[in-house]
Chains A and B, each alone.
Chain A
Amino acid sequence: MPQEHIEEYLEAIYDIAGREGTAKTTEIAERLKNAPASVTEVFQRMKQKGLVRYESHKGVSLTGKGYKAAIKMKRKHRLLEVFLDKMLHLPSDKVHEQACKMEHTLTDETETALCKTLKGPTECPHGSPIPPCNLEVKNCQECFSEQNLTLEKRDKDIIAITALKHGEKAKIVFVRGGGGVMQRLCDLGLTNGTTISLLREAPMNGPVEICVRGCKLVIGRGIAEKIFVQKT
């Protein structure tokens, strides 16, 4: 089975089930327009590779490894969408399809170069967030400012604070974006390495309330999605 095929499956599972949820075989079959029987077969193979957890009556969910691979594809896909839209000015209804074909051949090196050229976009043209890179950087400025940067890959599982569960604690490793907002977060005590905890979030993608250095702060979803942490 071609790698490309598996990557499409990973993305589909991620779209339907997210990080921790479960997707039904029929849902995946419908989305990829494949017969349920062949879908099950692919699941078995993905399971062997350690990408998913699969039980026929429960459905399929991503393992840590599978999740990493899935968001990597999402990142490539959405970066390509931005590229096709912003730089090549392709009609916006065409970019998704084209990006779908290109994403599988994109090397990691090209991915980083693309992200730099596009000045670290945070959203695809349709408004979905672009997952952060897995390079050992503390923020985007560092990446932009240096010419021949050879960055090591980070081997940490980093997530946005919006992905934390209520009451969970985590350490800030990376703040995306720049300028005034980043400086303000820093001034309010959200410096790299600081432990924060997520207190609650408002419904329908509303803001989050976090606790940092003994103070409670409310942070809008758009900003919170750019603060990445590592669970402690």
Chain B
Amino acid sequence: MKVDLVVALAGNANVGKSSIFNQLTGLGQIIGNWPGKTVEKAEGVLLHHGKHIKIIDLPGIYSLSTYSQEEIVSREYIALEHPDVVVNVVDATSLERNLFFTLQLLEMGTPLVIALNLVDVAKKKGITINEIKLQRLLNAPVVPTIATKGIGVHEIVDAAIEQAAKRSSASKSTIRYGPEIETRIEKLERVLTGVNIGYPLRWTAIKLLEGDSDIVNKVGEKHPDVIVAANILAGEISEIHKEPCSTVISSERYAVAARIVKEVQTFKESEKPSMGELFDELSMHSVWGYVLMFTTMLSILMFMSFFGGWLSEIVRNLFESVNPHMTGFLPDLLWNGGVVGFYATLSVALGFILPFYLILGVLEDSGYLPKIAYLMDRPCHTIGLHGKACIPLLLAFGCNVPACVGCRIMETKRDRFIAIFLSTLVPCSARTVVILGLVGAYVGVQWALLLYIIDFILIFLIGRILNRFLPGKSVGIIMEMPPYRLPSGKVVVKQAWNRFKPFLMTALPLIILGSIIIEAMRITEILYLVSNALSPITVVWLGLPAFTGFLFIFGILRKEAALVLLMTAAGTVDIRSAMSPVQMIVFALVIMIYVPCVATIAALVRETGWKKAGLITLTEVGLAIFIGGIAFRLLNVFM
């Protein structure tokens, strides 16, 4: 398809870029109320008045002097890929901080459209912004928007098309520094003529003065003399200001931003604290904050356990009532393999996975996740991380794959590795299915809870060990705190569906196929050959029935499959007749720890490389077998 225009959405974290993207493209980028959701760029195409417009959603970025990995993605894109227009999404409730980045974009000379988002929230806070004045001061069109309601989003595209048309006459940067800095920028620009690294000249000069390590490396490779010149000039500036050159430039930019805000913004402070602020007070309280957090987590788990068990039961009874009870090879294969596989999957999907995604959506959209990061920052230090790591760790309860990718919000390689490793140990919704659907339903909720506690202890211990032996130190948290907002039902449902769809598309067929294969293997007795080969581990060490061996192998594909196929492999829907309570607990325990699923391993390889992915996988296999065997022996004493 021919693309007429490329428009990139850029701006600070959590200002509504992905919301605008979703509104324009109809795609389902994950959105929510916390900084750092989008860590990779996303693309979509919009047909607008007969024009094909490619929209790029970029991760949040506070400054072009990047700090974490996802910011680098944005900067590289804006600086090197030259989108036709950059739509700078700006949070109207914190204009000054947002303009700091806008000024940097102007400096780069990118054709710019400003989307002044969250104007409704700003209005409620008593903030009014004179858009026309802002437009004049920035020399770029300003479009007020309310992204969540789709207000103003198409006007952005109109403005972008218009801006792209007069690209040639793109105005020169409006930000001027003090004369002592300007003369040095000019000097360096002269030195830089002939040096082309793909970035605009003035911007490169400023970045070199700031000592931006990335740009210094890029230029220094071929032109070390330029770096020497830049260092001398930067030294002169810091001599004058008694501050490093980079902070001098940042301070000047902020001074300009503050000046603009003063001119365009009026602010009437409301006297009584808003509901959100009162809830802030409670949810971040030194005592009640923690009480609220633990109660929330526990009630989610309890709800899932009871609701999931109840719904699974209904689905099962529904299908059992129409069981034709035929015998023979083919009917057996189709019913026990295909149909049982289908409804067992359906029951876990509707009972556990979908409800969890709905709850997760509410947590994300309300803005509660950053509060958890705040509350848990101190405890996280004991495992060598800071509070931000809690966010991917919580997402991992849904699925480990986005959690591993989400760990890019961690600033250092070391923090990222620890967070990724620990994420793969968090019981995802598939493992929750096994824990609650097997142990919770047949042995007792308290035992399911115990499994969770064991898992959390394990995560804590592994974290401690990694923290002890990995060189380096966590840098500490620096995170923006978004205000609370009422979750939108539409967004939550849509988001849950977007997460649930891949499950239906890939897991369901896979599990049905697996069921049929296992049923065929059971009838032809091949299953026993495979299972017997693994019996030294499964039967002798873990004390499990022999047929579980094959499930562990299949469970690598999909962990919830282990439970569904358990019914097929045991040859009965009533698992109680095939396994003792102790065996169920040990089985669930091993499934919980033994290996990340294939999709997670793939994500691990992508995020950390083969070596570390292999290390994580093997460690977890070893741990699962070891802990499973110990648990079997201990439980036999008590039960």
Contacts and interface: CB of A to CB of B under 8 A. Distances in A.
Interface of A: 137-139, 141-142, 145, 180-189, 191-194, 200, 202-207, 209, 213-223
A5 B254 CA distance: 49
B250 A207 contact: no
A207 B387 contact: yes
Nearest to B476: A220
A207 B374 contact: yes
B480 interface: yes
A141 B246 CA distance: 11
B238 interface: yes
B478 A219 contact: yes
Nearest to A189: B97
Contact of A188 (B62, B378, B386): B62
Interface in B307-341: none
A189 B387 CA distance: 21
Interface in B200-238: 235, 238
B480 A217 contact: yes
7 contacts: A145-B238, A181-B476, A189-B96, A221-B476, A223-B475, A223-B477, A223-B478
Interface residues of B, number: 41
A218 B243 contact: no
A219 B475 CA distance: 11
Contact of A209 (B96, B244, B284): B284
A204 B100 CA distance: 34
B415 to A, nearest CB: 12
Contact of A213 (B94, B243, B375): B94
B377 A218 contact: yes
Interface in B483-505: 483
A181 B478 contact: yes
A182 B378 contact: no
Nearest to B211: A183
Contacts of A203: 286-287, 378
Interface string B85-105: 000000001111100100000
A13 to B, nearest CB: 27
Contacts of B387: 207, 218, 220
B166 interface: no
A222 B480 contact: no
B438 interface: no
B250 A191 contact: yes
Contacts of B183: none
A217 B374 CA distance: 10
B243 A138 contact: yes
B65 A192 contact: no
A219 B477 CA distance: 5
9 A-B pairs with the lowest CB-CB distances in the bound complex, closest first: A220-B476, A187-B63, A206-B378, A216-B481, A186-B250, A220-B477, A191-B251, A203-B286, A207-B377
A192 B243 contact: yes
A205 B378 contact: yes
B558 to A, nearest CB: 37
Contacts of B242: 137-138, 142
B373 interface: yes
Contacts of B580: none
B370 A215 contact: no
A138 B93 CA distance: 30
Given A183-B246, A183-B247, A186-B250, A202 B286 contact: yes
B405 to A, nearest CB: 22
Interface string B275-290: 0000000001011000
Contact of B243 (A139, A187, A221): A139
B479 interface: yes
A217 to B, nearest CB: 6
A217 B479 contact: yes
A97 B176 CA distance: 56
A189 B238 CA distance: 19
B231 to A, nearest CB: 11
A213 B96 contact: yes
Given A187-B63, A187-B67, A191-B250, 9 more contacts: A141-B243, A187-B100, A189-B96, A193-B251, A202-B377, A206-B375, A220-B478, A221-B476, A223-B477
Contacts of A184: 62-63, 65, 67, 478
B65 A223 contact: no
A183 B244 CA distance: 10
Contact of B375 (A183, A192, A202, A205): A202
A223 B95 CA distance: 25
Nearest to B251: A191
Contacts, number: 132
A180 B476 CA distance: 12
Interface in B249-281: 250-251, 254, 258
A188 B93 CA distance: 15
B378 A218 contact: no
A145 B242 CA distance: 10
A142 B244 contact: yes
A214 B97 contact: yes
B97 A213 contact: yes
Contact of A222 (B238, B247, B476): B476
Contacts of B238: 141-142, 145
B593 to A, nearest CB: 30
Given A202-B375, A214-B97, A220-B478, A186 B246 contact: yes
A217 B481 contact: yes
Contacts of B97: 188-189, 213-215
B372 to A, nearest CB: 11
A180 B69 CA distance: 13
A212 B510 CA distance: 52
Contacts of B286: 202-203
Most chain A CB within 10 A, of B67, B235, B244, B247, is at B247
Nearest to B91: A215
B206 to A, nearest CB: 14
Contacts of A200: 284
Contacts of A220: 377, 386-387, 476-478
A66 B238 CA distance: 35
A176 B377 CA distance: 22
Contacts of B62: 184, 187-188
B247 A139 contact: yes
A181 to B, nearest CB: 6
A183 B250 contact: yes
A98 to B, nearest CB: 27
A202 B478 contact: no
Given A141-B244, A207-B387, A218 B476 contact: no
Contacts of B247: 138-139, 182-183, 186, 191-192
B376 to A, nearest CB: 9
A204 B382 CA distance: 12
A183 B62 CA distance: 11
A151 to B, nearest CB: 9
Nearest to A138: B243
A186 B251 contact: yes
Nearest to B386: A220
Nearest to B67: A184
B386 A209 contact: no
A226 B92 CA distance: 30
A214 B96 contact: yes
Nearest to B281: A200
A215 B378 contact: no
Interface string B54-65: 000000001101
B243 A209 contact: no
Contacts of B93: 214
Nearest to B254: A191
